[in-house]
């Protein structure tokens, strides 16, 4: 009986030690993976393990600068523009992640309806696309991506039943955001 108790105690202790070793290994692996991702020169930010690529940031920054020059706002102090663009990109990732988690999406018909309502405010689709290209330096497909993002923002705002700015502030408090 005493022998069985000793064996059970040894097995129990070995199980505890094995569990601790597994936890330490998982912690170190996670830390190593985070460090590897953070050190990736192509990433600027990780938002809940989803990267924002430097190339995407540079493209969005170029589009935004293009708009500012088109709108003759190039005389403004644009020193905060990179930070503003990156903040908008982080916000968009949080919105997309929430939408995916809650099965919120933009279907093709919603996008087409929004696009056609904008076309109606112009003489023709060609005129609209020229204006978009002049303003942002983008084509129809890129513009439709922006429209899709706008519709998704609206859906998330309706779903959370509060202002998007307040909601994003709360999301950032609980999100895992790693700046590279």
Indicate if 130 and 143 belong to the same structural domain: yes
Q: What is the pLDDT of residue 3?
A: 66
Which CATH number characterizes residue 161's domain?
1.10.4030.10
Total domains, the chain: 2
Indicate if 106 and 169 belong to the same structural domain: yes
**Tens of pLDDT along 93-121?**
999 999 999 999 999 999 999 999 999 99
Enclosing domain of residue 118: 44-179
Q: What is the pLDDT of residue 109?
A: 98
Place of tokens 């589009």: 63
Indicate if 75 and 159 belong to the same structural domain: yes
Indicate if 89 and 73 belong to the same structural domain: yes
Q: What is the pLDDT of residue 41?
A: 81
CA distances from 171 to 34, 140, 157, 168 (A): 21, 31, 13, 5
Indicate if 94 and 127 belong to the same structural domain: yes
**Tens of pLDDT along 49-100?**
899 999 999 999 999 988 888 887 656 778 889 999 999 999 999 999 999 9
Indicate if 90 and 152 belong to the same structural domain: yes
pTM of the entire structure?
Answer: 0.76
Indicate if 27 and 58 belong to the same structural domain: no
Q: Which is higher by pLDDT, 151 or 30?
A: 151
Tokens matching residue 122: 């112009």
């Amino acid at each position: 009986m005493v022998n069985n108790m000793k064996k059970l105690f040894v097995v129990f202790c070995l199980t505890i030690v094995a569990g601790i070793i597994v936890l330490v290994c998982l912690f170190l692996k996670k830390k190593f993976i985070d460090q590897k991702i953070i050190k990736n020169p192509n990433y600027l930010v990780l938002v809940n393990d989803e990267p924002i690529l430097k190339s995407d940031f540079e493209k969005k920054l170029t589009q935004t600068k293009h708009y500012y020059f088109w709108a003759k706002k190039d005389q403004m102090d644009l020193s905060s523009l990179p930070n503003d663009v990156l903040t908008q990109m982080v916000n968009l990732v949080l919105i997309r992640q929430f939408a995916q988690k809650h099965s919120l999406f933009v279907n093709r018909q919603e996008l087409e309806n929004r696009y056609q309502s904008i076309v109606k405010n112009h003489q023709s689709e060609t005129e609209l696309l020229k204006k978009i290209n002049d303003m942002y330096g983008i084509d129809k497909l890129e513009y439709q991506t922006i429209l899709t993002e706008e519709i998704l923002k609206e859906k998330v705002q309706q779903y959370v039943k509060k202002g998007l700015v307040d909601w994003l502030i709360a999301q950032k408090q609980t999100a895992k955001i790693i700046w590279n």
